[in-house]
A = this chain, B = another copy of it.
Amino acid sequence: MRSFSGRDILTLKDFERHEFLRVFEVAEQLEPIARSRRNGDLLREKTLVTAFYQPSTRTRLAHEAAMLRLGGRVTGFSDAQMTRAGDFYQESIKDTVKMLEFYGDAIVMRHFQEGAPREAAHWVSVPIINGGDGWGEHPTQILTDLYTVWRERGRIDGLKWLAVGDMRMRTMHSLGYGLTKFDSPVTFVAPPEMSLTDEFKDELAHYSLDFSEAEHVEQVIGEADVILVEPVVQPDYTKSRDERHGQVAHTPDNYKITQELLETKAKSDAILLHSLPRMDEVPPGVDVTRWSRYWPEAFNGVVVRMAILALVLGAME
């Protein structure tokens, strides 16, 4: 069995089934530290470098919080414009990360360019964690989603998934790759212009994933044990930040998970996941229903990063 120590977390494609489970077990083991709100010292001798070429709240802070919960330290940048590397010189990934590797013992990177974390991993000796790379992948987010299900149901196998959102997005890629390792059929629902690419469908078929597509959430929500939702409407970037403020998004009904839909169609024990931020695809009224799990999911986002950091930094085997 490959050790996690020193390993890059770039994609879920090369994650083996037992490796998912190992991450979940370690997460479960470390969870009491987060729950008790008492930072420990498992990683007290280690520094995490955050290399965020794009703004992020959840991914960056969840990694930082995880590191601090384990007694570690954090340095880095949260916006490429804050760095000479990003703004003025458009420095190569190589030049930047061959510097960053001396500033800490693992690097979590978000980049607008697909494949950037992989290129970074090529050049340095410390583990690179992919914090989202363009249209590529977002492995730690999907590990969080899978953990949330595993933690509650004790298993991933045998549960049916419904995924709603933009199927070209990185989370959907990681979700697809992740589910191929389990006995977990999945139905994808997306607006036509956001549907699965042929290339991605070929890959999923190659990995024997039992997947299908549907047009309306309503048609398929009744089957789902897990409902994972992402926005299908984007902010209107042609408007200024101020103009956008308070602007109402209009997610078409086909891709909206309303309280009424859940009450009339969903399984009574289905789990509703959303990594947030959201537009209006999941109205706030849903928050207090029995289906919503996005707050525990946010908590698990820290716990899973604790597990990943402990593993790649060699503090857990």
On whether A68 and B73 interact (CB within 8 A), knowing A88-B235, A94-B284, A102-B301, the answer reads yes
Of B46, B81, B245, which one neighbours A39 at CB under 8 angstroms?
Answer: B46
**Does A45 count as interface, using CB distance less than 8 angstroms?**
yes
Q: In the complex the two chains form, is A68's CB within 8 Å of B95's CB?
A: no
B89 with A235: CB separation less than 8 A: yes
**Interface flag for A1 (CB, 8 Å):** no
Closest to A35 in B: B102
Residue count of chain A within 8 Å CB distance of chain B: 65
Mark the stretch among A52-60, A188-196, A202-210, A256-264 that contacts chain B: A52-60
Any chain B CB within 8 A of the CB of A244? Answer: yes
Of residues A86, A95, A244, which shows the largest number of chain B Cβ atoms within 10 Å of its Cβ?
A95
Complex interface: stretch among A151-159, A160-168, A211-219, A271-279 = A271-279
Task: Write the nearest CB–CB distance from A127 to chain B, whole angstroms.
Answer: 12
Inter-chain contact A83/B55, CB cutoff 8 Å: yes
A37 within 8 A of B: yes
Contacts of A86 in B (CB 8 A): 57
Can you tell how many copies of this chain the complex includes? Answer: 3
- Residue from B45, B77, B95, B245 in contact with A276 in the complex, judged by beta carbons closer than 8 Å: B95
Most buried by B among A40, A49, A62, A82: A82
- In the complex, how many angstroms separate the beta carbon of A90 from the nearest chain B beta carbon? 5
- Known A-B contacts A37-B105, A69-B47, A103-B61; A277 and B95 likewise in contact (beta carbons under 8 Å): yes
* A180 contacts B by Cβ under 8 Å: no
Task: Give the most central of A37, A44, A279: most B CB within 10 Å.
Answer: A37
Output the residue of A39, A49, A76, A295 with the most chain B CB within 10 A: A39
Q: Are B295 and A98 in contact (CB under 8 A)?
A: yes
A164 to B253, CA, bound (A): 55
Interface string of A298-310 (1 = CB under 8 A from B): 1101100000000
User: Could you mark each residue 90-132 of chain A with 1 if its beta carbon is under 8 Å from any beta carbon of chain B, else 0?
Assistant: 1110111011101111000000000000000000000000000
Chain B residue with the shortest CB-CB distance to A313 = B37
Q: Name the distance in Å between A297's Cβ and chain B's nearest Cβ.
A: 10
The yes or no answer to A174 lying at the interface (CB within 8 A) is no
Q: Provide the residues of chain B in CB contact with A49, threshold 8 Å.
A: 61
Q: Give chain B nearest CB distance to A126 CB in angstroms.
A: 8
Contact between B84 and A82 (Cβ–Cβ < 8 Å)? no
Shortest Cβ distance from residue A51 to the other chain B in the assembled complex, whole angstroms: 10
Which B residues lie within 8 Å of A89 (CB)?
235, 277-279
Residues of B within 8 A of A68 (CB): 47, 73, 75, 104
**Can you identify 16 A-B contacts, CB atoms within 8 angstroms?**
A37-B46, A47-B65, A47-B69, A57-B96, A61-B75, A61-B99, A61-B100, A65-B75, A68-B75, A88-B244, A89-B235, A89-B278, A90-B235, A91-B277, A102-B301, A103-B302
6 cross-chain pairs, A with B, having the tightest CB-CB distances, nearest first:
A65-B103, A57-B83, A89-B277, A68-B73, A64-B75, A38-B45
